[in-house]
Structure 1
């Protein structure tokens, strides 16, 4: 699975990729969640059961619409063709949606988009992870997700390409 720094670098790259895709569709995007915290705060937060451990990575606005986006890098098995989302994250994101009245979207490497509700209703409980914390996951078939363009709108042809594209 790699070191924390390797996993963080992969996650950061996916967040930049998703941010760029959103910007090219007319969304204003800001980092949010643990990525904005200091290393020590993240370390202490990981030792708690607080739902804020699973705050989405990005917050985006287009017009008067706000969305919370959790970027899921390397959470899709090429062997089983299923996306995996930690069960505690789904629970926290359902609570966040109820509390904020804002949608939470999971965006995977292939740009499939799912919501916590999609995961809860379409997912199957998977085995506990053999690596890391041993967390329990929901598994959802790749075909279940909606397309990025369907959820976030089509590409604006005048939008500039960036190196993260």
Structure 2
């Protein structure tokens, strides 16, 4: 199994756990969205588009309730470090989607070992964090793109509480 295929499998398992979490603990209905609906080959083809397309970075989950919807970008990490990671292009896509489509985008952070929820932040909250502290860019890991590493806020909101 390639590195990409292995990372994709782990990410999809976390996205499935996030969907189950939302469906079990809230009055919202969550389901796959964006690249989550595509085949592995289609995902690879999107990743090879130059210049890099924001389509690659759309959130993989949509949650709906009544006349409301929110896109969820599920991000795994190691909670024991107290750090969170968001790819720069992922945040850019979230902000573009919010502006163009008028739909909120939230980032949901969970532990990669236990899938336990850590908390969530809106794209706007993350952007304010980066604007205040300045980007801490590092070279590539995983997706092969630059990312921001930042301390998880102590007051990170519980996703189930946010979606009440």
Specify the TM-score bucket, using the shorter chain as the normaliser.
0.7 to 0.9
Q: What value does the CA root-mean-square deviation take over the aligned residues?
A: 1.9
**8 Å contact from structure 2 (residues 85, 148) kept in 1:** yes
Higher fraction of strand? 2
Q: Is 1:55 the counterpart of 2:49 in the alignment?
A: no
Cα separation, 1, equivalents of 2:6 and 2:144: 19
Q: For the structure 1 residues 26 and 132, does the alpha-carbon distance in structure 2 shift closer, same or farther, using more than 3 Å as the test?
A: closer
Cα separation, 2, equivalents of 1:107 and 1:9: 18
Q: For the structure 1 residues 29 and 12, does the alpha-carbon distance in structure 2 shift closer, same or farther, using more than 3 Å as the test?
A: same
Mean Cα displacement is larger for which, 47-56 or 136-145? 136-145
Structure 2 match to 1:163: none
Mean Cα displacement is larger for which, 108-117 or 141-150? 141-150
Give ranges in structure 2 of 5+ residues lacking alignment: 111-116
Structure 2 match to 1:92: 93
Structure 2 match to 1:37: 38
Cα separation, 2, equivalents of 1:129 and 1:13: 26
Match of 1:78 among 77, 80, 88: 80
Cα separation, 1, equivalents of 2:46 and 2:3: 19
Match of 1:68 among 38, 62, 71: 71
Match of 2:139 among 129, 132, 151: 129
- Higher relative contact order structure (alpha carbons within 8 Å, sequence separation ≥ 6): 1
- Cα displacement (A) at 1:43: 1.1
CA displacement 1:32-72 (0-9 Å, x = unmatched): 11121122221111012111101111111112210101111
Structure 2 match to 1:114: 121
Mean Cα displacement is larger for which, 99-108 or 35-44? 35-44
**8 Å contact from structure 1 (residues 106, 115) kept in 2:** yes
Q: Secondary structure at the match of 1:73?
A: strand
Count of aligned positions: 150
Q: For the structure 1 residues 120 and 141, does the alpha-carbon distance in structure 2 shift closer, same or farther, using more than 3 Å as the test?
A: same
Q: For the structure 1 residues 23 and 132, does the alpha-carbon distance in structure 2 shift closer, same or farther, using more than 3 Å as the test?
A: closer
